[in-house]
Amino acid sequence: MRILHLDAGKELRGGQWQVLRLLEGLAAADVASTLLARAGSPLFEAARRQGHRVEPLGLARTVLLARRHDLLHAHDAHSHTLGAMAGSGALVVSRRVAFAPGGAPGSRWKYGRARHYLAVSEFVKAVLESAGVPEENISVVYDGVPLLSPAQGSAVVAPAYAGDPQKGAPLALEAARLAGVELQLSNDLERHLKEAAVFVYITHSEGLGSGALMAMSAGVPVVASRVGGLREIVRHRETGLLVENRVEEIAAAIRELLAEPALARRLGLAARRDVMERFTVDHMVRHTMEIYRRVLS
């Protein structure tokens, strides 16, 4: 199996981390991969440092390399367009976002080109179905995260994502102020989660929430918005706390976890077990390969 991966991301965020982890898992399974990414992007440089075959993303190169690979895997909307335009090779598309595809003729054409969709959650699968993608052409493949060492700290941490209007960093900051705690906004969750006691994931729209999964992996209790795919990974009062996007409710959840260490410990341990059972990198790689084989059979 030879897989051509396409990703146009400018930053190293959840989707790009999944690409890196998938490339590593496929290499371990002796599956040949080539990644096309924006030249100089964090994903491009990280993949190159890890020894993966990576080349600059562009339509001409996509068309050329598509003929030399068995399957194209587009990991975001722009690369989906490039994969559809390449016109050769089986195309599968990862869909991570929670909003519906556009209804313009060009969008309908693009979405008709893919052989199969890998939805990051049942919520995203339902969004695709509502846009007209047949159910049999969609499979749910949850994100996979590494199993982190259990956290030992007192910090209240949230992802930064300040430039994304769909993310709720300003709301989380206001809630932390109301709760009387300092909120640490992190661009390096794996490092900062080591010192976390609570992780706050507030967003207005979410396909899944890989940042929340990272916190759960470290056994950090999560306060998360009751939206999108987050409701599939955080079970209220079992593996975390789900809240409405109201400052007072978010603040109350933060205060509760800090005031009740036994509750925080119970939620964190249950969340970590869930990651081990359902959201490992091995799970993600194995399910992705199953879809590759199905599409190519």
Convert the pLDDT of each residue in 98-114 to its tens digit: 888 877 777 788 888 89
**pLDDT category, 262, cuts 50, 70, 90?**
very high
**pLDDT computed for residue 203 by the predictor:** 94
Residues near 110 by beta carbon (within 8 Å), at least 6 away in sequence: 80, 81, 84
Max CA distance (Å), the chain = 59
**pLDDT category, 227, cuts 50, 70, 90?**
very high
Check pLDDT > 70 for residue 165: no
The residue-averaged pLDDT of 209-238 equals: 96
Which amino acid appears at position 155 of this protein? A
Q: How far is CA 48 from CA 24, 59, 83, 117, in A?
A: 12, 20, 22, 27
**pLDDT computed for residue 163 by the predictor:** 59
**pLDDT category, 220, cuts 50, 70, 90?**
very high
The residue-averaged pLDDT of 147-163 equals: 88
Q: What's the pLDDT tens digit per position in 1-24?
A: 999 999 999 999 889 999 999 999
Which amino acid appears at position 278 of this protein? R
Go through the domains of the chain in sequence order and give each one's CATH number: 2-144+280-296 (3.40.50.2000), 155-278 (3.40.50.2000)
Radius of gyration of the chain (CA): 19
Q: What's the pLDDT tens digit per position in 184-217?
A: 999 889 999 999 999 999 999 999 999 999 999 9
How far is 147 from 150, CA to CA, in rounded Å? 9
State pTM to two decimals: 0.92
**Under the phi-then-psi rule, with left for phi > 0, alpha for psi from -120 to 50, and beta for the rest, what region is 202?**
beta
